[in-house]
Amino acid sequence: MEKKKEMVFITVIGEDKKGIVATVATYLYHQNINIIDINQRIMPDGCFVMSMFVDVCDAAVNMEELSLGLEKIGQDLAMSVQVQHENIFRMMHRI
Amino acid sequence: MPFEVEEIYETASMILRQHLDIRTTTLGLNLKDCIDSDFGVFRKNVYDKVCSHAERLIAESARLERKYGIPVVNKRIAVTPVNLIMETHCEPEKFLEMAQTLDAAARDAGVDFIGGFGALVQKGLTRADSMLIEVLPDVLSQTERVCSFLNVGSFVSGMNLDAVNRIGPMLKQTAAKSENAVGCAKFVVFVNAPEDNPFMAGAFHGVGEADAALNIGISGPGVVRSVVEQNRDCDLTRLSEVIKRTVFKITRAGELIGRELAGALGIGFGIVDISLASTTARGDSVAGVIEAFGIEKIGAHGSTLALALLMNAVKKGGAMASGNVGGLSGTFIPISEDSGMIDAVCAGALGLDKLEALTAVCSVGLDMFAVPGDTPEETLCAIIADELAIGVINNKTTAVRVIPVPGKKAGDLVQFGGLLGTAPVMHVNGFSSRQFLKRGGRLPASVTSMRN
């Protein structure tokens, strides 16, 4: 039976630069995490935001390890990284 | 993508930049089933029950913090009012030992505060209630994490002035026994105390509750301030609307975490308390929200209207977001824990009289404010009685957490440290109410309480 999807948003916030998507995507590939969708935008306040919608059901790491791994990448890129299960967005932004 | 980048960015910004957090996950525990005629066994039952539940609360809270990327700042325990479980062990030493047991359980399990060392005395004092008040100075000065409350009035019972008259002397003794009188910060006196409030120092597990209940306190003054700043020129109707929408979103986050946490612990989900609660961090200030409305400093004329608008919008947004909104839900306006309130007192914009007026529309009352150490006991009682009369007559919760700091006079600053912040010592009216308070007795309930 196919595993139930476990959908998570990874959000990278900061100043736009080269290699953001490549760095995060490479890390996710190594953790066996499937990227479903990617979107990025410059916000009205000038902030660059890249959001990845990923399925972690087959991930080689748990949520804590994933958060720590991405936090390290965020530090290297000098950007903030948030890892959040999709349910929080569903609760906050959909009735 | 099921969500727009803007929506994801909004949530991320709330957490990363505007201090949105789950302020507390408070597990309410019934301790009545721990009672034993052997006091040693009784204490062991209490210790074991608190520890085992608290450890799971902390572990599961940490898991959800990682899953949703939202900080869960405090994990706390609230217990059955201790006066009820001590009726058959009514000796001062035993009261103190029970407080030490609760303190040890909280420390060993890793929770920062445990609430419920208190009593409901709105109509009168039992022998155990009276003894509890007698030992409070020792409890508050000798334990680190035990929080205490007294409920001395209600809409239907009126106010027990005899109980209020015991509090002034008790606070003075507590102040004398603890450094900078900080023991007083762990005691709050209420009227209309909610039995499911997750916030300390007044949390307790009400007698109408199940064996265990999980209550969540969610905060976010920084989030509300941000949305107010983005709407500088709109009228009050629109301002209320944008606050309501924002509060709806943050309450939903609390509801999600609360339900999932209660499920993981295998207990019932109690309430979400959406209360804008300040911290000493810059920007995490309720005064900051009021000032973003267009008021130069909180305390200026117009502040009561601004706070009323804020309260109303917060409650409406919360009520739409969750069927379980409860506790105190609204806005706290403590002095020492809010940098904007501290600034306003220091600048002379906010005094005790205006603060009392503000509490008529805020969700709790006079909170975390310091007064000179030589304030007479009866004046402390009168400050408390005034504040609580507002609650009794208007059918709302009001409360007082006052700290008379020995050796300090109006205008001095007292550092409590950590979550408790810094308090500017406030000027107190020097005229006496001694003869009035000496009358004692009970303020009869309001005529509007006779609804049966």
> pLDDT tens across B167-194, in order?
999 999 999 999 999 999 999 999 999 9
Lowest mean pLDDT among B116-120, B264-268, B326-330: B326-330
> Between chains, do B9 and A43 touch, taking CB under 8 Å as contact?
yes
Place of tokens 């109006």: B410
Average confidence (pLDDT) over B422-436: 96
- Quick check: B289 and B240 in contact, CB under 8 A? no
Average confidence (pLDDT) over A17-30: 94
B8 vs A9, A63, A85: nearest CB: A9
Residue B27 has what pLDDT?
Answer: 96
Calculate the alpha carbon distances from A53 to A86, A89, B431 in Å: 8, 12, 66
Q: What would the pLDDT profile of A39-81 be if each residue is shown by its tens digit?
A: 999 999 899 999 999 999 999 999 999 999 999 999 999 999 9
Establish, for the pair of chains A and B, how many residue pairs have beta carbons separated by less than 8 Å. Answer: 83
Kindly tell me if the per-residue pLDDT of B279 is higher than 90.
no
Q: DSSP letter string over A44-67? A: TTS-EEEEEEEE-TT-SS-HHHHH
Kindly tell me if the per-residue pLDDT of A2 is higher than 80.
no
- Quick check: A63 and A88 in contact, CB under 8 A? no
Residue B81 has what pLDDT?
Answer: 98
Residue A67 has what pLDDT?
Answer: 93
Q: DSSP letter string over B111-155? A: -S-EE---EE-SS---HHHHHHHHHHHHHHHH-SSEEEEEE-EET
Residue A1 has what pLDDT?
Answer: 60
And the tokens for B95? Answer: 């009261």
Q: Measured between CA atoms, how close is A60 to chain B, in angstroms?
A: 16
> Measuring CA to CA, which residue among B310, B361, B367 is closest to residue B335?
B367
In chain A, residues with a C-beta closer than 8 Å to the C-beta of B250 are 92
Ranges assigned E (strand) in B152-231: 153-154, 158-160, 187-191, 212-218
* B327 or B119, higher pLDDT: B119
- Quick check: B274 and B329 in contact, CB under 8 A? yes
> Between chains, do B16 and A80 touch, taking CB under 8 Å as contact?
yes
Kindly tell me if the per-residue pLDDT of B302 is higher than 90.
yes
B12 vs A41, A64, A82: nearest CB: A82
Residue B240 has what pLDDT?
Answer: 97
Average confidence (pLDDT) over B296-312: 97
Is the model's pTM score more than 0.90?
yes
The rounded percent of chain B whose pLDDT value lies above 70 is 100
Question: Peptide bond before B201: cis, by omega within 30 degrees of 0?
Answer: yes
> Between chains, do B250 and A92 touch, taking CB under 8 Å as contact?
yes
In chain B, residues with a C-beta closer than 8 Å to the C-beta of A64 are 66
CA distance B85 to B78: 14
And the tokens for B430? Answer: 């020097």
Q: What would the pLDDT profile of B377-411 be if each residue is shown by its tens digit?
A: 999 999 999 999 999 999 999 999 999 999 999 99
- DSSP assigned state of B180: G
CA distance A34 to B256: 25
Residue A95 has what pLDDT?
Answer: 84
Mean of per-residue pLDDT scores for chain B: 95
B256 vs A39, A80, A87: nearest CB: A87
> Between chains, do B8 and A64 touch, taking CB under 8 Å as contact?
no
A89 vs B7, B13, B255: nearest CB: B7
Structure confidence at residue B146 as a pLDDT band (50, 70, 90): very high
SS3 call for A42: strand
- DSSP assigned state of B410: T
> Between chains, do B256 and A88 touch, taking CB under 8 Å as contact?
yes
SS3 call for B274: strand
- Residue B205 main-chain phi, psi, to 5 deg: -95, 105
> Between chains, do A53 and B256 touch, taking CB under 8 Å as contact?
no
Residue B238 has what pLDDT?
Answer: 97
> Measuring CA to CA, which residue among B330, B410, B319 is closest to residue B362?
B330
* B418 or B360, higher pLDDT: B360
Contact residues, chain A to chain B, C-beta under 8 Å? 9, 11, 13, 37, 39-41, 43, 47, 49, 51, 53, 63-64, 67, 80, 82-93
The rounded percent of chain B whose pLDDT value lies above 90 is 93
Residue B281 has what pLDDT?
Answer: 80
What is the bridge-based pairing of β-strands B442-443 and B114-115? unpaired
SS3 call for B409: coil
In chain A, residues with a C-beta closer than 8 Å to the C-beta of B68 are 84-85, 87-88
CA distance B157 to B192: 10
> Measuring CA to CA, which residue among B385, B383, B418, B421 is closest to residue B402?
B383
* Amino acid in the structure at residue A46: G
Residue B283 has what pLDDT?
Answer: 81
CA distance B434 to B385: 12
CA B130 to chain CA centroid, nearest Å:
23
CA distance A88 to B253: 6
Q: Which long-range contacts (CB under 8 A, 24 or more apart) does B432-439 make?
A: B432/B376, B432/B378, B432/B379, B433/B378, B433/B379, B433/B382, B434/B376, B434/B378, B436/B382, B437/B161, B437/B164, B437/B165, B437/B378, B437/B381, B437/B382, B437/B385, B438/B378, B439/B161
In chain B, residues with a C-beta closer than 8 Å to the C-beta of A54 are none
A89 vs B8, B67, B250: nearest CB: B8
> Between chains, do A41 and B15 touch, taking CB under 8 Å as contact?
no
- In chain B, the residue whose alpha carbon lies closest to the alpha carbon of A68 is B66
CA distance A85 to B347: 45
Residue B419 has what pLDDT?
Answer: 82
And the tokens for B153? Answer: 């009035």
In chain A, residues with a C-beta closer than 8 Å to the C-beta of B12 are 11, 13, 49, 80, 82, 84
Q: Measured between CA atoms, how close is B229 to chain A, in angstroms?
A: 14
B249 vs A49, A80, A92: nearest CB: A92
The rounded percent of chain A whose pLDDT value lies above 90 is 87
In chain A, residues with a C-beta closer than 8 Å to the C-beta of B59 are none
